[in-house]
Amino acid sequence: MPPDLWALYTLMLKSRLFEEAITKLWHDGLISGEMHIGTGEEAIIAGVVAHLREGDAMALDHRGTAALLMRGIDPVLILRELLGYSDGLCGGMGGHMHLFSKEHMTASSGIVGAEGPTAVGFAISAQHLHPGAIAVAFFGDGAMNQGMLMESMNLASAWNLPVLFVCKDDGWAVTTQSEHVTGGDLIERARGLGVQAIEVDGHNVSEVWEACHSAIERARSGQGPTFLHAQCVHFEGHFLGFQLIRVVRDPLRETPKVAFPLTQAFLHPGGATLGERLAGLRLVLESVLATLRDPRRDSANEPVRRTRTILHVDAVRLQEMENQVEEDVNRTLESALVEVPA
């Protein structure tokens, strides 16, 4: 069965425009703290969430806005939560890293890897209370090195639980390149725990959707968990105002702040040999260079545009649909911003 690309594109575009609006609000100082934006991973979220139905549960990480939106949670409530309003999704108490919806059985956590145990628990409940329902865990590649996630994959395998583990791999664990701190291959790691593992192109929503279709059917019919490994790019890095991206986007303002103390430390008497110091300097520069060379510049890694290109054959319908989505998002923004609670 082929996916409904129009429906998937609608979800992705809506999420993209919504998160771009959030980005602006954050820059305006209306959203506080760390704001982890998911622009760039929409194809993965849409390809998974489009399969979910009533009774299915989601365990989200600190980057959960897109999944909540696509799952059908009122975007006005989400936005008002991010703004810290008392009538937001969680009464202004949780904020963007701690978004919860009991009705949709969706829980978030700012603790890396915590999605594993949560999804496993949701899946145990599903086995008992909602046979045929599943639990999805969304996490990044950084979480793959967290013990509790590996333990959860083992538990899901041993107990044959209906879990879909979705690794949104952007190659970074905050400012650390994952390849520097990860041993072996992630697909092999999952298979080593007895979990079916599938590699997909996370920029290709049809591919994600199709892979999930069979994995989720398998889980629903009691055949156990699947690990889905999908590459993606985060356009805003780990979170908004991400230092590495700031250095790359605004080098004149940001570089001196970093370079001056760095040079001082490099030249400071007492410490390592020159060779060791150079090795250290290389590591610091490598993360900046990797950000400069980042695949976010490659249009093939732009999931929304890629899907749009396919749908462009019907330009009239596309335009109508896009106008509609834009109108929806604008209306959401208007409603969310209209009134500040006392």
Partner 1 sequence: MRTMFFTQAIDDALAQSMADDPCIILFGEDIQTIRRNLLVRFGPRRVRGTPISESAFLGAGVAAAMTGLRPVVEMYMVDFLGVCMDALLNHAAKIKTFSGGKWTVPIVVRAPCGGGYGDGGQHEQSLWGWLAHIPGLTVLVPSTPADAGGLMRAALQHDGPVVFLEHKLLSETWLEFLGSGGRRTVQFDVPAEGAKGAVPQKWKPLPIGKAILRRAGDDVIIISVGVGVHRAQEAAQALETEGISAGVLDLRTVSPLDKTAVCEAVAQTGRLLVVDEDYEGFGLSGELSAVVLETGISCRYARVCTQATIPYARHLEAQSLPNQQRICASVRQLME
The contact set with partner 1 (CB under 8 A) reads: 26-29, 32-35, 81, 84-86, 90, 92-98, 109-113, 142-143, 145-148, 173-176, 180-182, 239-244, 246, 254, 258, 261-262, 264-266, 268, 270-273, 275-277, 279-281, 283-284, 287
SS in 3 state form for 137-150?
A: EEEEHHHHHCHHHH
Strands 176-177 and 172-173 turn out to be: antiparallel
- In angstroms, give the least distance from the CB of 336 to partner 1: 15
- In angstroms, give the least distance from the CB of 73 to partner 1: 17
- In angstroms, give the least distance from the CB of 171 to partner 1: 13
Residue with smaller CB distance to partner 1, 274 or 315:
274
- In angstroms, give the least distance from the CB of 18 to partner 1: 19
- In angstroms, give the least distance from the CB of 203 to partner 1: 24
Distance CA 225, CA 158 (A): 10
Residue with smaller CB distance to partner 1, 3 or 75:
75
Which region, left, alpha or beta, applies to residue 72 given φ > 0 means left and ψ of -120 to 50 means alpha?
left
Residue 109: phi and psi, rounded to 5, are -150, 145
- In angstroms, give the least distance from the CB of 228 to partner 1: 20
Pair of tokens at residue 176: 């650390």
- In angstroms, give the least distance from the CB of 89 to partner 1: 11
Residue with smaller CB distance to partner 1, 58 or 219:
58
Annotate 197-232 with DSSP letters as a single string. EEEE-TT-HHHHHHHHHHHHHHHHTT---EEEEEE-
Residue with smaller CB distance to partner 1, 318 or 337:
337
Residue with smaller CB distance to partner 1, 81 or 302:
81
The answer to whether 136 and 147 are in contact (CB under 8 A) is: no
Residue with smaller CB distance to partner 1, 171 or 303:
171
Distances (CA, A) of 194 to 144, 150, 159, 214: 16, 11, 11, 17
Residue with smaller CB distance to partner 1, 72 or 241:
241
- In angstroms, give the least distance from the CB of 84 to partner 1: 3
Which residues have a Cβ under 8 Å from the Cβ of 6 and sit 6 or more positions away? 311, 317, 321
- In angstroms, give the least distance from the CB of 165 to partner 1: 16
Distance CA 301, CA 282 (A): 27
Residue with smaller CB distance to partner 1, 120 or 143:
143
CA angle 197, 225, 234 (to 5 degrees): 55
Distance CA 52, CA 56 (A): 6
Annotate 11-67 with DSSP letters as a single string. HHHHHHHHHHHHHHHHHTT-S-S-----TT-HHHHHHHHTT--TT-EEEE-S--HHH
Residue with smaller CB distance to partner 1, 2 or 269:
269
